[in-house]
Structures are given as C-alpha cells and as structure tokens.
C-alpha cells in the first residue's frame, strides 16, 4: 500500500506538471527555476524517454505504445509476486518508480491527442516520411505525425543548462545533459539506478547460493584435476 501510494503520487505530479505546462506555456517557452542552470522548457517528443525517436511510420509508434502496455502489465505482475515473496520494501519502491514512469508517459500517448487542441503544423508534430500531410498555409503542405489513441506525443519540460568546463577532455564546453525530460523519465531512471546499484542488497540469498554453487564446482574441478 505504501509503494502503491508512492506510484500514485508520482503519476499525479507527472500529469499535473504536464497539464500545467501544456495549458500555460507555448512550445519553446522557457522559465528559470534554479538560477539559469535548471529551467522548465516546453517541448513534446514522439518517441521514447529523453526525446529519443523510434521511427516515422504509424506501426512504429503503435509498437512502442503496445510494448509499453505489455511492459507495464509485466512489471505489475512481477511487483505483486515480489511483494508476496516478502522482498525488501526498497526493492518494491524501485519497481514502483519504473512502473510509475512507464505509465506516466503511456498516458500522454493514449489521451493527449484528444484532451488538448491538436495543431499538426507545430514543429514537434512534423514527421518526415509519415505519409500524412497537413496544409500549413504559408509553409505549404507538411508531413506530420499520425494522430489518435496510443499515437500522442510525450510532454517534456525539465532541462539542465550546465556545460562541462573547457579543461575536460573531449567534453569541454558541451552540455552536461542536453536532453529535455519529465517526471516520468526521472522516475524510471531512479528506479533502474536503484536496481543496478543495490542488487546485492535486494538479492542477497540468490548471490549466496550462487557463491556456494561456484565453490562446489571449483572443488570438483580441482579434485578431477588432481585425480
């Protein structure tokens, strides 16, 4: 119940921020939050986390959204089984963070094309190679993304405006983290990071059993070699 409440809270924050940005910002608008190194800048992306793209055909976007649905179902099932098995609460929190992030971005794709006015001529809706054209007046006919259920964009807004010092090899002067992201992306990243960094704490029994098995195998190999 505690972890479930955390998931619900992250989803609520994620959607409230996205709705606020969509209703109060124009695409490209930027507002400083902490000095000038962390800002809110409204953009939308048609792909995966941190603005990465997947393709320009309708089945590319559908495949991504359907994969998200199955992944969320699998995470829910795994989460339930782990809770019944009595694993550490921290591990359930990590799974919950991943679940919340995946669900938050899926909600955008499912409903935002219907919940908000859709302008195919906005830059973030352009998609070369889609085969869908819109009359954009002065700019003529422009290829745009497909619109509908599971085809909506994901709203992003958080951006770091920090650069590497010039003395850093290869990276000097470039942005530390150029991608623009959202609460859901951050939730997924933190959850995956927890699982990766804390796996020894989450799976101590399995690791101990593996050590025993490896030790026994080494003993058998040594015995065979001596014989």
Lowest mean pLDDT across 24-38, 67-81, 94-108: 24-38
Chain segment 3-17, per-residue pLDDT in tens: 899 999 999 999 999
- Extract the tokens encoding 127: 């998609």
pLDDT value, residue 49: 53
pLDDT value, residue 107: 96
Chain segment 123-174, per-residue pLDDT in tens: 889 888 888 999 998 889 999 999 999 999 999 999 988 888 888 888 888 8
Lowest mean pLDDT across 16-30, 47-61, 96-110, 173-187: 47-61
pLDDT value, residue 53: 58
Residue 185 appears among annotated catalytic residues: yes
206 pLDDT band, cuts 50/70/90, is: low
Q: Taken in order 198, 70, 13, 1, is the CA torsion positive or negative?
A: negative
* Spatial contact of 142 and 156, defined as CB atoms under 8 Å apart: no
Per-residue pLDDT for 217 more than 90? no
Percent of the chain with pLDDT over 90: 55
* Spatial contact of 108 and 78, defined as CB atoms under 8 Å apart: no
Select the more confidently predicted residue: 160 or 222.
Answer: 160
Burial class of 189 by CB neighbour count within 10 A (0 to 12, 13 to 18, 19+): middle
Enumerate the β-bridge partners of residue 41: 30
Per-residue pLDDT for 214 more than 90? no
pLDDT value, residue 219: 59
pLDDT value, residue 18: 97
CA distance 26 to 180: 16
- Catalytic one of 14, 108, 185, 227: 185
- Catalytic one of 14, 108, 113, 156: 156
What domain range includes position 161?
2-226
pLDDT value, residue 221: 63
Residue 119 appears among annotated catalytic residues: no
75 closest CA partner among 95, 105, 60: 95
Mean pLDDT of the chain: 86
Chain segment 41-65, per-residue pLDDT in tens: 999 988 755 555 566 778 888 888 8
Q: How many domains does the chain have?
A: 1
Q: How many residues does the chain have?
A: 227
């Amino acid at each position: 119940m505690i972890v479930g409440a955390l998931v619900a809270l992250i989803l609520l924050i994620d959607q409230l921020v996205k709705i606020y940005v969509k209703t109060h910002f124009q695409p490209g608008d930027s507002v400083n939050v902490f000095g000038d190194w962390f800002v809110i800048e409204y953009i939308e992306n048609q792909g995966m986390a941190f603005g990465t793209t997947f393709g320009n055909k309708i089945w590319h976007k559908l495949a991504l959204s359907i994969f998200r649905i199955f992944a969320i179902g699998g995470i829910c099932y795994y989460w339930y089984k782990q809770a019944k098995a009595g694993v550490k609460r921290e591990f359930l929190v990590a799974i919950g963070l991943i679940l919340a992030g995946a669900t938050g971005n899926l909600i955008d794709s499912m409903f935002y094309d219907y919940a908000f006015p859709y302008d195919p001529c906005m830059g973030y809706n352009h998609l070369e190679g889609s085969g869908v054209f819109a009359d954009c007046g002065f700019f003529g006919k422009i290829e745009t993304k497909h619109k509908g259920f599971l085809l909506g964009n994901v709203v992003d807004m958080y951006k770091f405006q920090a650069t590497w010092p010039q003395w850093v090899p290869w990276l000097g002067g470039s942005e530390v983290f150029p991608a623009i992201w959202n609460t859901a992306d951050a939730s997924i990243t933190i959850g995956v990071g927890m699982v990766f960094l804390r796996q020894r704490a989450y799976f101590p029994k399995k690791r101990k059993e593996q050590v025993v098995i490896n030790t026994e195998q080494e003993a058998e190999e040594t015995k065979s070699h001596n014989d």
